[in-house]
Amino acid sequence: MAGAPIAAAPAAATAAAQFPQPQRDYILACGGCHGLNGVSNSSLVPSLKGLVGYYLYLPEGRAYLPRLPNVAFSTLSDEQLAAVLNYMVFDIGAGSAPAGTHPYRAAEVGKWRRQPLTEVTLSEYRQRMVEILIDRYHAPAALRGYSASSGQ
């Protein structure tokens, strides 16, 4: 792998082709930063595995996911993006969303992605939700930081 930057993208695309569509879209559009299984390699990128569904306890958390800049500005259609978010919440985030959570629909995603958060508003918006989720919904404290493995 190392030292073959030209081959890397086609190889990833070929490997991704064997997965169902939403997972494939996740791998290609999100996995480079968030990791194929939602465990990010960088402390600057939040881990999603087993965590991301907690946001769906709050209405503003449900809106948060499609309003994230990298999500909102993705080239995927509203339909594809809804499917990716559902894959992310229910597979990668398995066990973290409240019971009975209904899946994202294209119209809902379309509405929120047109009101994207900016770098200025994002961290404050997130911090407020994260404290509520830890206090009230027993989300793990790992949600405070970006790295699930460090546990902070």
CB of 64 to ligand HEC, least distance (A): 7
Name the one range near ligand HEC by CB under 6 A: 4-12, 65-73, 97-105, 132-140. 65-73
Interface mask (CB under 6 A) for ligand HEC, residues 6-35, using x and -? Answer: -----------------------xx-xxx-
CB 35 within 8 A of CB 41: yes
The radius of gyration computed from the CA coordinates of the chain, to the nearest angstrom, equals 15
In Å, what is the CA distance from 107 to each residue of 55, 58, 113, 114, 138?
19, 19, 10, 11, 30
Asked if 71 is part of the footprint of ligand HEC (rule: CB under 6 A), the reply reads: yes
The amino acid occupying position 29 is A
User: Would you report the helix, strand and coil content of the chain in percent, each value rounded to 5?
Assistant: 60, 0, 40
Measured from the CB atom, the residue of 15 and 121 that comes closer to ligand HEC is 121
From 13, 17, 41, 69, residue interacting with ligand HEC (rule: CB under 6 A): 69
Among 74, 86, 101, 147, binds ligand HEC (CB under 6 A): 74
Answer whether 38's CB lies under 8 Å from 100's CB. no
Decide: is 52 part of the binding site for ligand HEC (CB under 6 A): yes
Q: In which region does residue 102 sit, left (phi positive, over 0), alpha (psi from -120 to 50) or beta (all else)?
A: beta
Minimum distance of ligand HEC from residue 122's CB (angstroms): 6
Residues that bind ligand HEC (CB under 6 A): 29-30, 32-34, 44-46, 48, 52, 65, 68-71, 74, 84, 88, 122, 126
